[in-house]
Amino acid sequence: MTDVNMELNINPKEQQFISAKSYLLTASTDTGLNLYDHLSRVLTKVLDERPNNVVDIFEDVSKDSKRSKFTSDVDTVRDKLDQSTEVALAKVQEKLFAKEGGEDNEPEESEELETPLPNIMELCFFFEQAGIGLNREEMIRVWLALKNLVDTHALSHVRFWGKMFGTEQNYYIAEVEYRDGDEEEEEEEEPEEQQEEEATDKDGDEEGEEEQEEDDTPKPDFKPPPEIPKEENKTGTNKKTYFVCNDPGKPWTKLPAVTPAQIQSARLIKKFFTGRLDAPVVSYPPFPGNEINYLRAQIARISAGTHVSPMGFYQFEEDEEEVDDEDEEEEREEPDEPEPEVGPPLLTPLSEDAEIGNLPPWTPKVSSKLIPQYAISVLQSNLWPGAHAFAAGKKFENVYIGYGHKYNMDNYNPPQTAPIQEEFPSGPEITEAEDPTVEEENALRNAQQEAAEAAEEMEEAEEEEDDEDN
Amino acid sequence: MDSEGLHLNIDYVGSSGIILSPEQKAALQTSLVILKNSGKFHRVYFWGKILGVKDDYFIAQGVGRDEMENRKTFYSKDCVHWGLLPPATKAMREQSKLAQGRFTGDPSYEFEHTEQKKSEDGEEAGEEETKSKMRFSTATGELEGLNETTITIKEEDRLSSVIAEIDEDVKIVPRSAFIKTPDGKINANRSFEGLSVSESAKLCSYMHFRDAICLQEKSLLQKANLDKAIDFMDTLEEDIPKGSWSLQFERGSGLVTLRSLLWLGYVFYHVPGTHMYGSCYVGNGEKNLDLPFML
């Protein structure tokens, strides 16, 4: 080789250069790359992009360049997977933005009808000033979803109640009031407690058959709590109906009416929502229903406890048909007999709320300390963290954003389980005694024989005496 | 979350109910810049808010180059003036666990905690009955011979301890967002391009931003697959109880949100495919000890 070079008049320096370059051009046996091409690629990239402090990330640039050589540009499977969820949701939400009908027809009709839809953007502005609520884009989507709800059902009043977080999905909740006469009837289900009673009686009967004795089997002490009569439809806690959806744009599901038994149970348990309405609520004491009922029960409790309005906003009318908004319920222990639970009367001022420990139940705030003239007042509940209310002049609104649990200073204690039921009362009839042994039996028989003989002798002796006498 | 671009980043956690009023955002943008300058920090993070009964605390953290070592915590009540919080020592943290209830909102407030020590026998000298802030009446005859010691805990100390505890329990970062250099320093990874959508759906792609606790207990087989520069922290999969994190996708797969169920109010967000991520805590500052019952 050197002879050839000498012949071509290449000086040693150039010869070193050629050998170095050819070394750099040797392809790696593992990957097929060669260092020369790799370095030139990396340096081109660096000179094109000119990142800061490139020497610190030089290794990463080099690695990226190597990695990109191997991934194919056509990766259909991966692309499809990534886009599907995002695109699917976007398409669902796109429907929210679709307008109905032609634009010419709309202005005339909308002037006549009073839309039950609240002006959410205005509320959103106030919420933002107060530092509570959801961000603007999400509120717009919620608003459009509410508009959808209004269009599909005949409602007189619609309100965004709030958002409940769940472990897998969240709930957006709308509070509605149906227009009179347009309600949908709800099916009545047989109360489950009656079935329970029947079941326990059956068990008692079975025990009796097994015993085959005339003694009464012990009746189970368990008396199911007397069935609490449901409130009349559309009154009390069921005055408003609630709809939920997992995401704005997804279909709205109507929540069933809440029963007093569910509210009672909901007070005793503390569970996270999962986000699926049909999920079972596994708890002690067993909650009568699924997550859909638990959600409804918590909504009822929160509404009763935290819906407030500025003093004087609502008045009792003489016919009392338009009394709105229930206020606090004081938590009381349940008496054994089903007396109807009575909370404080409607429109009780907040100052009479019960304190939690030594914590005031509400925290009032002002939205801006720097510009107090235009500030709005904000109320945050300490009993139900996440419940907020704001008031600005004549406008006010309540909203709940949170996990749906009450604030508890001490930790949650699950209620005690019921005492174990008594078995069959012990008595001589069923007490076990040892069987007499063979010796004892013999002894007994001997004793009996002796007694019998003695008795016979006695009789014989008497007869003889009688005979002698006679 | 990073204070630069706070007004944009706060939108990411908006769906968890965390929003700042425009006035607060404007004040924060100004004051955090000043804080960064005066403290000579590499970065300043808006850590979150701790809600007190009367007032809220805004918390910010300034970090140097090595984000795990030099962290200074500041608090403010009006987003303008910041005060430095004392670093939480172990003793402070133990004491702060005894103070129960909400924060009041007054940094000079002192919680009282009464401890009773039985001084009768040698065995019982070690027993302590801790009662809560409400003192039980001394009408019971058992209290004869008991010494009551009252410990006062300042709200500032409690605040600092709670922040340190939250950081240790739930502060998370995506995997490979931080790199451990061979000399032990931890730096942000400049070429972090984000997790892919499928990666961001798994809990093991997120790591606790603290010194590793469970890492040493892993089997050699598991450790063989780890990359020492990236996997020097615990992942979320080892968290007990399982299910204490709620991972949700918003906007389809455009944003992934992790909410902690142990400290209610801690939210971590990440936009898959980009290097945007951050976290924020807005809550009472109380641990959710009922978590096992609630799952």
Which residues, including other chains, have CB under 8 Å from residue A120's CB and lie 6 or more apart? A139, A140, A142, A143, A146, A160
Interface check for A118 against chain B (CB to CB < 8 A): the answer is: no
Strand, helix or coil for residue B152: strand
ipTM of the complex: 0.81
Q: Please, what is the average pLDDT of chain A?
A: 72
List of chain B residues whose C-beta atoms are within 8 Å of the C-beta of residue A386: 17
For A24-28, A306-310, B117-121, which range has the lowest pLDDT when averaged over its residues? B117-121
Residue B19 to residue A367, Cβ atoms within 8 A: no
Q: What pLDDT was estimated at residue B119? A: 52
Strands (E), chain B: 43-51, 56-63, 71-76, 83-84, 110-118, 128-131, 146-154, 172-174, 178-180, 186-188, 206-208, 245-250, 255-260, 266-270, 277-283
Q: What is the pTM of this model?
A: 0.74
* Average pLDDT rounded to a whole number, residues A105-122: 55
**A253/B23 Cα distance (integer angstroms):** 38
List of chain A residues whose C-beta atoms are within 8 Å of the C-beta of residue B242: none
Q: pLDDT at residue A210 above 70?
A: no
Which residues, including other chains, have CB under 8 Å from residue B152's CB and lie 6 or more apart? B110, B111, B112, B113
- Chain A residue with minimum CA distance to B10: A135
**B197/B249 Cα distance (integer angstroms):** 10
List of chain B residues whose C-beta atoms are within 8 Å of the C-beta of residue A360: 53
Q: pLDDT at residue A114 above 60?
A: no
For A330-339, how does the pLDDT look when each residue is reduced to its tens digit (9 = 90+)?
323 333 344 5
* Average pLDDT rounded to a whole number, residues A137-152: 83
Interface check for A166 against chain B (CB to CB < 8 A): the answer is: yes
Interface check for B191 against chain A (CB to CB < 8 A): the answer is: yes
Q: What proportion of chain A, given as a percentage, has pLDDT over 70?
A: 65
First to last CA, chain A: 165
Sheet with B110-118: list strands edge to edge: B128-131, B110-118, B146-154
Residue B22 to residue A133, Cβ atoms within 8 A: no
**A283/A296 Cα distance (integer angstroms):** 17
Interface check for B230 against chain A (CB to CB < 8 A): the answer is: no
CB burial string A371-400: b at 16+ within 10 A, e below = eeeebbebbbbbbbbbbbbbbbeeebbbbb
Per-residue pLDDT band at B268 (split at 50, 70, 90): very high
* Average pLDDT rounded to a whole number, residues A205-219: 46
List of chain A residues whose C-beta atoms are within 8 Å of the C-beta of residue B100: 409
Mutant choice from B8, B11, B21, B183 vs A, greatest count of A C-beta within 10 A: B21
List of chain A residues whose C-beta atoms are within 8 Å of the C-beta of residue B16: 165
Per-residue pLDDT band at A204 (split at 50, 70, 90): very low
Interface check for A177 against chain B (CB to CB < 8 A): the answer is: no
Interface check for A416 against chain B (CB to CB < 8 A): the answer is: no
Name which residue leads in pLDDT, A192 or B154: B154
Q: pLDDT at residue A63 above 60?
A: yes
CA-angle at B153, arms to B152 and B157, nearest 5°: 155
- Chain B residue with minimum CA distance to A387: B17
Which residue in the set B191, B259, B289 is minimally distant from A57, CB to CB? B191
Q: What pLDDT was estimated at residue A244? A: 92
List of chain A residues whose C-beta atoms are within 8 Å of the C-beta of residue B57: none
A164 to chain B, minimum CA–CA distance in Å?
A: 10
- Tell me the two tokens of residue A211: 């015993």
Which residue in the set B15, B24, B264 is minimally distant from A131, CB to CB? B24
* Average pLDDT rounded to a whole number, residues B223-236: 79
Mutant choice from B28, B106, B178, B191 vs A, greatest count of A C-beta within 10 A: B191
For the beta carbon of residue B216, count every other beta carbon within 10 angstroms.
7
Query: Element (H or E) spanning A363, and its range?
Result: strand A362-366
Q: What pLDDT was estimated at residue A235? A: 63
- Chain A residue with minimum CA distance to B104: A359
Per-residue pLDDT band at B60 (split at 50, 70, 90): very high
For A180-184, A375-379, A402-406, which range has the lowest pLDDT when averaged over its residues? A180-184
CA A55 → CA A43, A62, A186, A318, B185, distances in Å? Answer: 11, 11, 71, 82, 18
List of chain A residues whose C-beta atoms are within 8 Å of the C-beta of residue B264: 403
Strand, helix or coil for residue A332: coil
- Chain B residue with minimum CA distance to A357: B101
Which residue in the set A89, A133, A137 is minimally distant from B252, CB to CB? A89
Identity of the amino acid at B53: V
Which residue in the set B17, B21, B293 is minimally distant from A402, CB to CB? B17
Give yes or no for a contact between B194 and B174, defined as CB atoms under 8 angstroms apart. yes
Give yes or no for a contact between A145 and A245, defined as CB atoms under 8 angstroms apart. yes
φ, ψ of residue A449 in degrees (nearest 5): -60, -45
Residue B17 to residue A168, Cβ atoms within 8 A: no
Residue A86 to residue B190, Cβ atoms within 8 A: no
- Tell me the two tokens of residue A156: 């007189």
Which residue in the set B24, B248, B295 is minimally distant from A272, CB to CB? B295
Identity of the amino acid at B12: Y
Q: What pLDDT was estimated at residue B267? A: 92
Strand, helix or coil for residue A290: strand
Q: What proportion of chain B, given as a percentage, has pLDDT over 70?
A: 88
Residue A167 to residue B261, Cβ atoms within 8 A: yes
Per-residue pLDDT band at A77 (split at 50, 70, 90): low
Query: Element (H or E) spanning A378, and its range?
Result: strand A377-381
Q: What pLDDT was estimated at residue A232? A: 56
**B262/B258 Cα distance (integer angstroms):** 12
B121 to chain A, minimum CA–CA distance in Å?
A: 31
Q: pLDDT at residue A197 above 50?
A: no
Interface check for A125 against chain B (CB to CB < 8 A): the answer is: no
